[in-house]
């Protein structure tokens, strides 16, 4: 019996050396532990043995069964591990290959800037209001203190669509008029109105027959130029950096009096003078002023009780300055390759 | 507007003033000095031509010129170059306008050490063929050789180029008006020029009668000067005209321009002999004609004001004189007109005839009657002095000017409240004094009289505050936020839904575009869904920007082509913009264009290509997001510009809102899908608030089935029937296969559905499901002539 056990063990040792696959392990399992396997056969004639012998054979065959099982399991695990490693190795990819492009859309450059201003304005309690682009001469000019034949209309050579009564608005200011007229209770007003505007200009790098204004209007009690300046400070710093300084210069708009040009200290040179600020250290970014008494009165706000300020920016100009764009047509050609530059959060 | 500071110095003392600093101060107080240019001519000396001999076979001369320092050889090409004349010599080192530097050189083998100059070469005259033909400039024979020409000719002027706002276009477009501005900034006084004349006894009233037959002529002054001699103007007049951008012609014409640039009042000179003895100002009659100074016949309308000799027009008021009464070299006696006309008429006429001039612009902007009176005296003074004229006594006058004095009150409190400053009464007084505005002070109120020369200042406190403030300086304003109610800022009206839509579309991978509202007729004709009468511009600038678009799709197609030609293959874009029709009606539209791979890898074939169904998915995603689930529908419909077989109309609550489909191959060969719907129709849709809906705890049962149907039956129709028959237990339908080919007839197709059944209250039994399932099969088979496909 002992010899049989030893011979099984030595045969197993030989077999194990030649096994490389789980399939072959399976075959060995059958050969040793199957119904007619070598180990099973050890106990095939148990019934003819004495109790003592049965005990002995049982012990030995159990021992060798455990031994064989353990060896085969050990080998099987090893082979499984190797096979997995081989599989994983074969599945190795080149991670340097280009990504699959996940398409997230983006805002038009101008819209991105307008949204920035809108969010800032809303945080200061301004409502965002829009108005029609095909507008009445009455709202675009007359109620804004620009009667027919006013020389200042020259600067806004306008596209008319019907007689001298309907036009493509040359400014977003008619939205202010509409808002004041529509407010029948004559309560305070705080709005900004971004929108498309049109003038008879030949398109080139710095002119566009279609452009975009962002205007603001605040009507309340005892409003001053100092209030306007503080409001402008916030917008200027938000768009062009916290270290911006601002200044007002006297100007003229028919619908404000006094009127000012709004300048920021040059963000490129910090005020020393460079080609962006044309050596002056200052860049004009918009126009503003105290709302003209005629405009308030025209819209039913008694100019002896109410005061207000209005300000306006050219959205294209702001974006050109902010992002360093040199051709205004960039906003209207919609070259999708620009997305690579603009599809990200702004620096803070 | 160009201002000669030498000229301004006549009216206000600037002896101790740095003109560059002054320019900055003036700019800071509201009148923009855009450029300051000083005449930087150097190395120019008076020379005498000692010898001048022709260089054979050329037009050139070899000269020896005495420059005071030396006698040098200079080659000159001018035909008036000759021995004995005094000339302007630019020596080597001189830099002429345009950066042209004079260097010693060799011309045709002959040494040349400098250049003899024409005025146009020094920028003192326009570079015209006539001026060129005059050759080099000949100085008076008594000019001292070796003298600096800039000093000798008094060329050392400083020019301010003004960029004027429309309000100051009135008073600062003349030298006296600008002198007042300079005086305000410096706190100095203005001295007006000499208006004196020595009139002869003869009175103009004996020679002329005046009749004004229109209210549009508010003021008309006429004076007569006899015996004028037409010749060149004195240098100072020429130089100043050149500095201000006008060309000297002869003394009489120059004086008229000089006075206009001085007082801002345009004058008109008639040849008295040609005019006769009557002046009548009236409105023109329709179709009346006049040949103007530029020798063109002009047809008039009854909106034009004309000066006539009693019968025929001799001048279009404020615009241009007639050839029939033009001053020429033989003119002896002149009638001078200094008038004020209705600015609207002048503007209308000059625009209509395309004859806008320095003069007409001034009439348009408005004139000060005081200057109108002074200008005519000034012209007489100059004609007497520089044209040997004799001034007749008296002036023929028509004066219907409203001379109401402009007076307004303002208080210190008004000023400080509006500007947000802490000015003192002393500051206010100083500003008013410097402005030259007279005022009376009474218990803190300033009653201010606004001088007539400031036509732009209205009698209102706000106007005075601006004038006081701009001189005091806005740089002294300190920021202070307004004290107003705290409130929430919101997107108002349709802005809100536009922002929601735009954010959703960006999240869906679409890029926002901004294109032009104005397009060509042809572009507007491409996509004509629900076409209404388009709005055309009355005066378009060009054919490609002629109409206000009614569809955004053609603009997006243009954007696609722009990107395609730059090798951008996958174009997913949208735009939301207003469209207009029927004169004034507005419809805000949402347009989407998609082409190429929606998800894309450059090397891996697993991209997702855009097709009708992808775009449909985008639409459904958007409308579902807006809370409109189950309220919209697609119906196959042929639409202009869209592929007839790949085209659908979109309805919402049974109302058409737009269309989608593939662009017709006649318009674009590429496989481009577009969608356009009205945002305006989405704005006021009521939707329910979000409420949690419990997910069923009980298992659902899935059943698959496939039908063979005729090709023209749509899946949508089948689904409608399935839904109706499925009732409440049927909770979802999915299509998982659409098949044509083997085992299916040519005119048939097979569609396979996966149906989900569930009940939120209990576990469904097989029998319950089979009952509904069989009903579905029966109904679909009957209604659509469908055959259940065997497994």
Q: How far is A175 from chain B (nearest CA, A)?
A: 12
The whole-number pLDDT of residue B387 equals: 95
Q: Residue A339 above 80 pLDDT?
A: yes
Alpha carbon of B376 to those of A229, B623, B739: distances in Å?
47, 75, 97
Q: Are residues A31 and A153 in the same domain?
A: no
pLDDT single digits (tens) A58-77: 888 888 888 888 988 988 89
Segment B701-724 mean pLDDT:
92
Same domain for A77 and A132?
Answer: no
Choose the closest CB to A225 out of B477, B577, B602: B477
CB-CB contact of B137 with B90 (8 Å): no
- Does the distance separating the beta carbons of A209 and B545 come in below 8 Å? yes
Domain end marker among A35, A61, A90: A90
A255, pLDDT greater than 80: yes
DSSP codes of every residue in A228-285: HHHHHHHHHHHHH-TT--EEEEEEEETTEEEEEEEEEE-TTTTTS--TTTTTSSEEEE
Give the structural domain span for A56. Answer: 2-90
| B225 touches B383 (CB < 8 A) | yes
pLDDT at residue A306 tops 90: yes
Q: Residue B173 has what pLDDT?
A: 94
Query: pLDDT of B156-207, one tens digit each?
Result: 788 899 999 988 989 999 999 999 999 999 999 999 999 999 999 999 999 9
Q: What is the pLDDT of residue A16?
A: 84
Are A81 and A123 in a shared domain? no
Q: How far apart are CA B647 and CA B655, in angstroms?
A: 17
Per-residue pLDDT, A39: 81
Mean pLDDT of B110-118: 91
**Mean pLDDT to the nearest integer, B352-364:** 91
Residues A32 and A77 in one domain: yes
A129 to B493: CB separation less than 8 angstroms, yes or no: yes
Residue B35: what pLDDT?
86
Which is higher by pLDDT, A47 or B29?
B29
Same domain for A135 and A79: no
Determine the distance in angstroms separating the CA of A86 from the nearest CA of chain B, rounded to an integer.
25
Question: DSSP character for B534?
Answer: P
Rounded Cα gap, residues A9 and A28, in angstroms: 13
**Average per-residue pLDDT for chain A:** 91
Percent of chain B with pLDDT over 90: 80
Does any domain span residue A227?
Answer: yes
Percentage of chain B exceeding pLDDT 70: 99
**pLDDT on residue A26:** 87
User: What is the band of B40 on the pLDDT scale with cuts at 50, 70, 90?
Assistant: low
Q: What is the mean pLDDT of residues B621-630?
A: 96
Cβ-contact A261, A232 below 8 angstroms: no
Q: Which pLDDT score is estimated for B408? A: 97
Q: Do B168 and A252 touch (CB under 8 A)?
A: yes
Of A25-29, A338-342, B419-423, B710-714, give the range with the top mean pLDDT. Answer: B419-423
Query: Best of B184, B461, B484 to disrupt the A interface by mutation (most A CBs within 10 Å)?
Result: B484
Residue A103 lies in a domain: no
Chain B residues lying within 8 Å of A160, measured CB to CB: 537-539
For the segment B752-769, the average pLDDT, to the nearest whole number, is 92
Flag whether pLDDT at A35 surpasses 90: no
Q: Is residue A102 part of a domain?
A: no
DSSP letter string over B665-714?
A: TTT-SS--EEEEEESGGGTT---PPP---PPPSSPPEEEEEEEEEETTS-
A317 and A215 share one domain: yes
Whole-angstrom distance, CA of residue B232 vs CA of residue B253:
10
B42 phi/psi in degrees, rounded to 5: -140, 175
DSSP B560-597: HHHHHTTT---EEEEEEEEEEETTTEEEEEEEEEEESE
Q: A120 and A73 in one domain?
A: no
The chain A residue lying nearest B470, using CA atoms, is A250
Q: Is the peptide bond before A258 cis (omega within 30 degrees of 0)?
A: yes
Q: How far is CA B516 from CA A204, B519, B550, B559, in A?
A: 14, 7, 12, 11
Cβ of B474 within 8 Å of Cβ of A247? The answer is yes
The nearest alpha carbon in chain B to A128 belongs to B491
**B587: nearest CA partner in chain A:** A132
Whether B123 shows a pLDDT value over 80: the answer reads no
Report helix, strand or coil for A118. Answer: helix
Phi and psi angles of residue B90, each rounded to the nearest 5 degrees, phi first: -100, 125
Q: For residue A127, what is the domain's CATH number? A: 3.30.930.10
Residue labelled with tokens 């722009």? B562
Q: Mind listing the pLDDT tens digit for each residue in B667-696? A: 999 999 999 999 999 998 999 999 998 888
Residue B294 to residue B127: CA distance in whole angstroms: 21
| pLDDT greater than 80 at residue A45 | no
Mean pLDDT over B352-362 rounds to 91
pLDDT at B54 over 60: yes
Write phi, then psi, for A257 (nearest 5 degrees): -165, 115
- Look at residue A154 in the predicted model and tell me its pLDDT: 65
Res B132 pLDDT > 70: yes
Closest-approach residue (CA) in chain A for B459: A293
Both tokens of A177, joined, read 């008029």
Q: Which chain B residue lies closest to A150 (C-alpha atoms)?
A: B365
Are A103 and B570 in contact (CB < 8 Å)? yes
A156 and A13 assigned to the same domain: no
With CA atoms as reference, the chain A residue closest to B487 would be A125
Using a CB-CB cut-off of 8 Å, the residues of chain A touching B466 are 250, 257-259
Among residues A57, A90, A123, the one where a domain terminates is A90
Q: Are residues A249 and A155 in the same domain?
A: yes
Residues A65 and A181 in one domain: no
Question: What is the token pair recorded at B63?
Answer: 């000269």
| B97 pLDDT more than 80 | no
A307 inside domain: yes
Which domain-ending residue is among A90, A124, A148?
A90
Which chain A residues have a beta carbon less than 8 Å from that of B489?
121-128, 190
**Residue in B446, B383, B393, B402 with CA at minimum distance from that of residue B201:** B393
For residue B674, count other CB atoms closer than 10 A to its CB. 27
Domains of chain B, start order: 2-39+157-186 (3.30.56.10), 44-152 (2.40.50.140), 200-399 (3.50.40.10), 406-472 (3.30.56.10), 494-682 (3.30.930.10), 701-788 (3.30.70.380)
In a domain, A100, yes or no: no
**pLDDT for B391-450, tens place per residue?**
999 999 999 999 999 999 999 999 999 999 999 999 999 999 999 999 999 988 999 999
Higher pLDDT, A228 or A269: A228
Closest CA to B396 of B351, B339, B449, B356: B339
How far apart, in whole angstroms, are the C-alpha atoms of residue A70 and residue A62? 12
Q: What is the pLDDT of residue B317?
A: 96
Write out the two tokens for A204.
């080139």
CB-CB contact of B370 with B452 (8 Å): yes
Mean pLDDT of chain B: 92
* Alpha helices for B475-630 (secondary structure H): 494-507, 521-526, 553-564, 612-625
Task: Pick the closest to residue B303 from B289, B320, B282, B322 (CA basis).
Answer: B282
Do B343 and A149 make contact, defined as CB atoms within 8 angstroms?
yes
pLDDT of residue B791: 53
Q: Which helix (H) or strand (E) holds B730?
A: strand B730-739
Cβ contact B166–A151 (<8 Å): yes
At B41, the pLDDT band (50, 70, 90 cuts) reads confident
A224, A302, A344, best to mutate vs chain B, most B CBs in 10 Å: A224
How many domains does one find in chain A?
Answer: 2
Residue A99 lies in a domain: no
Asked if pLDDT for residue B742 goes beyond 80, the answer is yes
Closest CA to B586 of B679, B686, B655, B490: B679
Confidence check: pLDDT of A151 > 70: no
Judgement on whether residues A202 and A333 belong to the same structural domain of the protein: yes
Question: How would residue A156 be classed by pLDDT, with cut points 50, 70 and 90?
Answer: low
Q: How far is A191 from chain B (nearest CA, A)?
A: 8
Residue B39 clears pLDDT 70, i.e. is over it: no
Asked whether the predicted pLDDT for residue A328 surpasses 90, the reply is yes
DSSP state of B37: E
In a domain, residue A245? The reply is: yes
Interface A:B, Cβ pairs < 8 A: 261
Clarify whether residues A143 and A60 are in a common domain. no
Average pLDDT over residues B507-515: 96
Domain-located, residue A57: yes
Residue of B nearest to A97 (CA): B603
Residue among B229, B204, B272, B222 at smallest CA distance from B385: B229
Count, residues in chain A: 348
d(CA B585, CA A220): 33
Nearest to A337 among B510, B566, B600 (CB): B566
For residue A345, what pLDDT is reported?
A: 86
Cross-strand bridge partners of residue A250 = A260
ipTM over 0.90 threshold: no
Contact A258 B465 (CB under 8 A): yes
């Amino acid at each position: 019996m002992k010899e049989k056990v030893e011979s099984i063990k030595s045969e197993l040792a030989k077999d194990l050396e030649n096994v490389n696959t789980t399939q072959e392990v399976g075959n060995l399992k059958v050969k040793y532990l199957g119904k007619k396997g070598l180990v099973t056969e050890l106990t095939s004639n148990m019934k003819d043995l004495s109790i003592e012998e049965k005990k002995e054979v049982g012990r030995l065959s159990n021992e060798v069964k455990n031994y064989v099982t353990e060896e085969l399991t050990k080998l099987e695990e090893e082979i499984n591990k190797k096979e997995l490693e081989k599989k994983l190795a074969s599945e190795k990819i080149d991670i340097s290959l280009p990504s699959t492009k996940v398409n997230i859309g983006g805002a038009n450059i101008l819209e991105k800037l307008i949204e920035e201003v809108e969010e800032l304005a809303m945080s200061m309690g301004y409502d965002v209001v829009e108005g029609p682009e095909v507008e009445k001469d009455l709202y675009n000019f007359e109620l804004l203190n620009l009667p027919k034949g006013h020389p200042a209309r020259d600067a806004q050579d306008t596209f008319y669509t019907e007689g001298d009564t309907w036009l493509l608005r040359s400014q977003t200011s008619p939205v202010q008029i509409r808002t004041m007229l529509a407010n029948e209770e004559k309560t305070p007003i705080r709005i900004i109105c971004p929108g498309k505007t049109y003038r008879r200009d030949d398109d080139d790098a710095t002119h566009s027959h279609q452009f975009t204004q962002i205007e603001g209007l605040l009507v309340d009690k005892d409003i001053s130029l100092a209030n306007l300046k503080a409001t402008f400070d916030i917008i200027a710093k938000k768009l062009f950096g916290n270290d911006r300084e601002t200044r007002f210069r006297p100007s003229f708009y028919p619908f404000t009096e006094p009127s000012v040009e709004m300048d920021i200290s040059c963000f490129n040179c910090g005020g020393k003078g460079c080609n962006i600020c044309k050596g002056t250290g200052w860049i004009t970014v918009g126009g503003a002023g105290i709302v003209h008494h005629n405009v308030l009165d025209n819209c039913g706000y008694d100019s002896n009780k109410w005061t207000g300020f209005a300000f306006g920016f050219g959205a294209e100009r702001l974006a050109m300055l902010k992002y360093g764009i040199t051709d205004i047509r960039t906003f209207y050609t919609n070259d999708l390759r620009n997305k690579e530059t603009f599809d990200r959060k702004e620096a803070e | 507007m160009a201002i000669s500071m030498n000229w301004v110095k006549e009216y206000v003392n600037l002896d101790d003033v740095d003109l560059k600093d002054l320019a900055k101060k003036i700019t800071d107080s509201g009148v923009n000095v855009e450029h300051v240019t000083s005449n930087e001519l150097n190395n120019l000396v008076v020379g005498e031509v000692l010898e001048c001999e022709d260089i054979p076979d050329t037009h050139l001369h070899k000269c020896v010129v005495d420059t005071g320092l030396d006698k040098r050889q200079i080659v000159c090409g001018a035909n008036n170059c000759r021995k004995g004349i005094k000339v302007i010599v630019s020596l080597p080192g001189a830099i002429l306008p345009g950066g042209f530097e004079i260097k010693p050189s060799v011309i045709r083998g002959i040494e040349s050490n400098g250049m003899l100059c024409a005025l146009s070469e020094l920028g003192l005259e326009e570079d015209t063929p006539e001026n060129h033909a005059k050759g080099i400039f000949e100085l008076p024979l008594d000019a001292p050789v070796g003298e600096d020409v800039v000093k000798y000719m008094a060329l050392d002027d400083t020019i301010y180029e003004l960029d004027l706002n429309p309000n100051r276009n009135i008073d600062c477009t003349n030298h006296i008006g600008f002198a007042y501005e300079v005086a305000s900034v410096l706190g100095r006084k203005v001295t007006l020029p000499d208006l004196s004349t020595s009139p002869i006894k003869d009175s103009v009233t004996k020679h002329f009668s005046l009749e004004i037959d229109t209210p549009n002529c508010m003021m008309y002054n006429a004076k007569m000067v006899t015996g004028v001699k037409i010749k060149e103007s004195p240098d100072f007049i020429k130089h100043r005209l050149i500095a201000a951008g006008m060309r000297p012609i002869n003394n009489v014409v120059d004086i008229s321009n000089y006075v206009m640039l001085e007082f801002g009042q345009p004058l008109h000179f008639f040849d008295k002999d040609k005019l006769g003895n009557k002046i009548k100002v009236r409105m023109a009659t329709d179709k009346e004609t006049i040949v103007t100074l530029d020798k063109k016949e002009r047809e008039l309308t009854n909106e034009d004001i004309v000066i006539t000799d009693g019968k025929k027009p001799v001048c279009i008021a404020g615009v241009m004189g007639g050839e029939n009464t033009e001053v020429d070299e033989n003119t002896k006696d002149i009638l001078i007109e200094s008038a004020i006309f209705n600015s609207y008429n002048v503007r209308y006429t000059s625009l209509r005839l395309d004859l806008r001039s320095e003069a007409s612009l001034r009439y348009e902007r408005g004139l000060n009657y005081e200057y109108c009176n002074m200008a005519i005296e000034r012209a007489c003074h100059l004609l007497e002095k520089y044209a040997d004229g004799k001034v007749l006594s008296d002036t023929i006058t028509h004066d219907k000017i409203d001379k109401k004095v402009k007076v307004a009150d303002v208080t210190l409190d008004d000023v400080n409240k509006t500007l947000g400053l802490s000015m003192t009464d002393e500051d206010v007084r100083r500003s008013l004094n410097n402005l030259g505005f007279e005022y009376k002070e009474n218990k803190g109120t300033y009653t201010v009289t606004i001088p007539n020369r400031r036509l732009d200042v209205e009698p209102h406190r706000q106007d005075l505050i601006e004038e006081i403030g701009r001189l005091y300086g806005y740089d002294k304003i300190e920021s202070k936020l307004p004290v107003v109610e705290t409130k929430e800022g919101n997107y108002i009206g349709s802005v809100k839904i536009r922002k929601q839509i735009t954010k959703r579309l960006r999240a869906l991978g679409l890029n926002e575009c901004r294109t032009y509202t104005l397009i060509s007729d042809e572009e507007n004709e491409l996509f004509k869904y629900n076409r209404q009468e388009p709005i055309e511009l009355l005066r378009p600038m060009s054919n490609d920007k002629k109409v206000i678009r009614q569809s955004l799709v053609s603009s997006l197609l243009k954007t696609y082509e722009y990107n395609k030609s730059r090798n951008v293959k996958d174009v997913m874009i949208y735009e939301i913009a207003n469209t207009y029709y029927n004169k004034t009606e507005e419809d805000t539209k949402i347009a989407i264009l998609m082409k190429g791979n929606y998800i894309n890898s450059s090397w891996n074939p697993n991209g997702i290509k855009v097709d009708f169904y992808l775009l449909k998915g985008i639409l459904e995603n958007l409308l579902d997001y807006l809370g409109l689930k189950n309220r919209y529908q697609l119906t196959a419909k042929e639409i202009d510009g869209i592929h007839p077989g790949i085209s659908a109309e979109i309805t919402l609550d049974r109302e058409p809102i737009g269309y989608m489909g593939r662009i017709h191959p006649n318009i674009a060969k590429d496989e481009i899908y577009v969608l356009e719907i009205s945002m305006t129709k989405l704005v006021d849709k009521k939707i329910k608030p979000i409420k949690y809906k419990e997910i069923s705890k009980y298992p659902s049962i899935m059943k698959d089935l496939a039908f063979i149907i005729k090709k023209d039956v749509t899946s949508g129709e089948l689904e409608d029937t399935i839904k109706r028959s499925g009732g409440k237990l049927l909770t979802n339908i999915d299509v998982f296969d659409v098949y044509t080919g083997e085992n299916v007839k040519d005119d048939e197709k097979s569609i396979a559905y996966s149906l989900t059944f569930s009940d939120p209250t209990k576990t469904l039994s097989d029998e319950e499901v089979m009952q509904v399932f069989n009903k579905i099969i029966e109904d679909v088979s009957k209604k659509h002539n469908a055959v259940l496909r065997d497994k």
